[in-house]
Amino acid sequence: MKKQCSFHWSIFILFFVCGSAFSQKALPAIETVVHDPVMIQQGNIYYLFCTGHGISVYSSPDMKNWTPEKPVFAEQPKWATTVAPDFKGHIWAPDVSYHNGQYYLYYSVSSFAKNTSAIGVATNKTLNPKDKNFKWVDHGIVIESVPNRDLWNAIDPNLILDEKGVPYLTFGSFWDGLKMVKLNPDLTSIAKQPQEWHTLARRERSFKLDDKDPGDAALEAPFVFKKDGWYYLFLSWDFCCRGENSTYKVVVGRSKTVTGPYVDASGKELFQGGGRLVIEGNKNWAGVGHNSAYTFDNKDYLVFHGYDVSKKGTPKLIIKEIQWKEGWPTVLPMD
């Protein structure tokens, strides 16, 4: 969920109950209400995690019909209010992956429109809630951003391992761009001696940046996807969370190294505002974005949300197969 834009409180309420107050009836993807979706497969079941109270969860045998599951957290993380005193259990923008024999779920705790934020991580040996080993264990804060100290925002995490298996966490929105930091092998803490930080993408602003105002150069939700020797950095431009007035779109750049520099098809660096358009909204979908990307059964997929104009801007799940043309990802435009 995006934090540096005005939005409709009706939409906020809808996000708040996403995946927690609905019936257990399976719904087709286009009727599944999500925001900031990420996906993973365990066995023959797909699991979807998204912004919501306690982190919303869905399951599906086919990526077409989705059944709500219980949220990840029955109670909010104990540390959350020490970071954001106004936190009420609504957790943003998770990221899920499998490493070291367990599942890692990164998530965001934040105060809206501020960089009073932190990224936490929880682990589980299984995603099947019926398994006797099913239990989410929270490991607390991985990284925190603080107003008056940081010109970056610790939200929208995405874990990526380079070709040598070295882990990096990408994250960020607005302020001075999207960041990357090297992690320890335990994937729960920042590597030190020394720390390694990178800025992956940023956009120029029309007025002076300070630590109290994120500015108008909207970009967020980084997601790195490896393909054919390239690292592809997907990100979302412009504004979400405005229902029918949302202007979200997905752009991409690529690099031979995980830390960049990432460039678009014209050769412009994303650090200098570059980005190749992947998909944008239309008259039926006011804005589409906050994507993730995966390979399942030898097919690549782009997973994201879009605001359904016919449903007063309700955010819906959208999954499109990725095709590759001259080394760049393409998807069919919105219907």
Per the domain annotation, does 31 fall within a domain?
yes
Domain that holds residue 218: 9-330
Per the domain annotation, does 82 fall within a domain?
yes
Contacts of 204 (CB under 8 A, 6+ apart): 217, 273
Identify the pLDDT of residue 7.
Answer: 37
> Tens digits of per-residue pLDDT, 143-191?
999 888 888 899 999 999 999 999 999 999 888 899 999 999 999 999 9
Identify the pLDDT of residue 4.
Answer: 41
Identify the pLDDT of residue 210.
Answer: 54
State the Cα–Cα distance between residues 223 and 135, nearest whole angstrom: 26
**pLDDT tens, per residue, the chain with 335 residues:** 444 433 333 344 344 445 444 457 889 988 999 999 999 999 999 999 999 999 999 999 999 999 999 999 999 999 999 888 888 889 999 999 999 999 999 999 988 778 889 999 999 999 999 999 999 999 999 999 988 888 889 999 999 999 999 999 999 988 889 999 999 999 999 998 889 999 999 997 765 555 555 456 789 999 999 999 999 999 999 989 889 999 999 999 999 999 999 999 999 999 999 999 999 999 999 999 999 999 999 999 999 999 999 999 999 999 999 999 999 999 999 99
Per the domain annotation, does 1 fall within a domain?
no
Per the domain annotation, does 3 fall within a domain?
no
Per the domain annotation, does 335 fall within a domain?
no
Contacts of 79 (CB under 8 A, 6+ apart): 118, 120, 140, 141
Per the domain annotation, does 4 fall within a domain?
no
Q: Would you name the residues annotated as active-site residues?
A: 36, 220
Counted domains in the chain: 1
| 277: CATH | 2.115.10.20
* Cβ-contact 284, 306 below 8 angstroms: no
Per the domain annotation, does 2 fall within a domain?
no
Per the domain annotation, does 305 fall within a domain?
yes
Contacts of 60 (CB under 8 A, 6+ apart): 26, 45, 46, 48, 66, 67
State the Cα–Cα distance between residues 39 and 50, nearest whole angstrom: 9
For the entire predicted model, the pTM comes to: 0.92
